[in-house]
């Protein structure tokens, strides 16, 4: 018998300064909707949030645990930020995996993500270790809204996370996706930006090559090479109907993101990561985001949580105000398996 459960959002986390009730005063903590039906109703723009509280994937991957506290730390960092667009926020609570039932937790997350995607709003999953991404994948493959769509995965990460291991972990989710796509007759379309060459073995580079993964190293993702980075993003956007964006916060330099399982000795600047997020969100193809590997107990001055919150609010704002909505174009998936 599993102890995985979904806990409702903690109202005490969603708090912050209140300057007034008019739209020009709005902050995230004031934009919370009562339920998904409210956030989806009357054509309102919105975003769906769900947390994944689990340390098991990182433990199996022999990393530093503590990301189970990440979802509420991310909510708390988002709460006081201003809303500069008219949208509502639905918080679906947190999938809590207090024991070692990782796979059951991912399955539960998958069912929740599928239902949230079918509201028609972008979904943001607050992790958790990078094993969160497999639960996100299960959700998008179960979603009626994304049925028949060609979904590309863009991972902002220092690691490929293509490890071939005896059991699933935070190091295996994208190899799991590749194998599941192959079994289902879908194309595995995977791009990674920020790879740390010293932190990925030769076998991981070989696996990436065999799977046709497009990637840029952290050194290639410099601000000076921003045009080249965005060209890589544009190539992916041109060939997909929808995007599953996965942000492992260890892609950022340790000075910006100290509170992660594996702090980066080099990393990709926040400026570059921000521009990548804007490019994806403004394409109208952003369906799903997971933000992972935040360890609040190790986060100096809340730096990592604040940086993550800045990226999330940028993504959501740009996605809900995108001039086109390619994802909800009924004909956009006709040419893909």
Residue numbering of the annotated binding site: 130, 157, 159, 161, 248, 250
Average pLDDT of the chain to the nearest whole number:
92
pLDDT at residue 323, rounded to an integer: 73
Per residue in 97-134, pLDDT (tens digit) is 987 899 999 999 999 999 999 999 999 999 999 999 99
Q: Is the pLDDT assigned to residue 185 strictly greater than 80?
A: yes
| Rounded mean pLDDT, 33-44 | 54
Gap between the Cα atoms of 158 and 161, Å rounded: 9
The annotation places the binding site for Mn(2+) at 130, 157, 159, 161, 248, 250
Share of the chain above pLDDT 90, in %: 86
Task: Show the tokens assigned to 164.
Answer: 């071939």
Dump pLDDT digits (tens) for 320-331: 988 766 666 654
pTM for this model (two decimals): 0.94
In sign, the C-alpha dihedral spanning 191, 223, 257, 312 is negative
- Residue 311 pLDDT class (50, 70, 90 cuts): very high
Residue 328's pLDDT is: 65
Q: Contacts from 271-274 at CB under 8 Å and sequence distance 24+?
A: 271/223, 272/221, 272/222, 272/223, 272/226, 272/229, 273/156, 273/194, 273/247, 273/311, 274/310, 274/311, 274/314
**Separation between Cα atoms, residue 4 and residue 97, nearest integer Å:** 5
Give per-residue pLDDT as tens, 218-272: 999 999 999 999 999 999 999 999 999 999 999 999 999 999 999 999 999 999 9
Which structural domains are found in the chain, ordered by start?
28-327 (3.40.800.10)
């Amino acid at each position: 018998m599993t102890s995985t459960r979904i806990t409702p959002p903690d109202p005490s986390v969603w708090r912050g300064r209140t300057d007034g009730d008019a739209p020009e005063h709005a902050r995230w903590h004031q934009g919370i909707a009562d339920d998904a039906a409210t956030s989806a109703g009357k054509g309102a723009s919105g975003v769906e949030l769900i947390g994944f509280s689990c340390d098991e994937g990182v433990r199996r991957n022999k990393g530093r645990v503590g990301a189970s506290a990440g979802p509420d730390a991310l909510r708390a960092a988002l709460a006081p930020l201003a809303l500069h667009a008219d949208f509502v926020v639905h918080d679906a609570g947190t999938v809590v995996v207090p024991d070692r039932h990782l796979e059951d937790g991912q399955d539960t997350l998958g069912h929740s993500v599928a239902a949230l995607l079918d509201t028609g709003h972008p979904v943001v999953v607050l992790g958790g270790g990078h094993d969160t991404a497999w639960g996100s994948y299960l959700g998008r493959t179960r979603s009626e809204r994304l049925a028949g769509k060609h979904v590309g995965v863009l991972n902002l990460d220092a690691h490929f996370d293509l490890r071939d291991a005896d059991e699933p972990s935070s190091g295996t989710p994208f190899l799991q996706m590749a194998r599941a796509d192959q079994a289902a007759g879908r194309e595995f379309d995977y791009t990674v930006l920020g790879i740390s060459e010293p932190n990925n073995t030769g076998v991981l580079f070989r696996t990436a090559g065999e799977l046709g993964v497009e990637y840029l190293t952290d050194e290639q993702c410099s601000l000076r090479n921003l045009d080249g980075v965005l060209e890589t993003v544009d190539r992916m956007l041109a060939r997909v109907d929808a995007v599953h964006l996965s942000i492992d916060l260890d892609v950022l330099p340790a000075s910006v993101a100290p509170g992660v399982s594996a702090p980066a000795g080099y990393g990709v600047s926040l400026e570059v990561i921000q521009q990548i997020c804007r490019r994806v969100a403004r394409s109208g193809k952003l369906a799903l985001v997971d933000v992972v590997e935040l360890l609040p107990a190790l986060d100096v001055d809340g730096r990592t949580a604040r940086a993550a919150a800045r990226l999330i609010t940028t993504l959501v704002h740009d996605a809900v105000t995108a001039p086109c909505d390619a994802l909800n174009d009924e004909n956009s998936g006709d040419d893909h398996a």
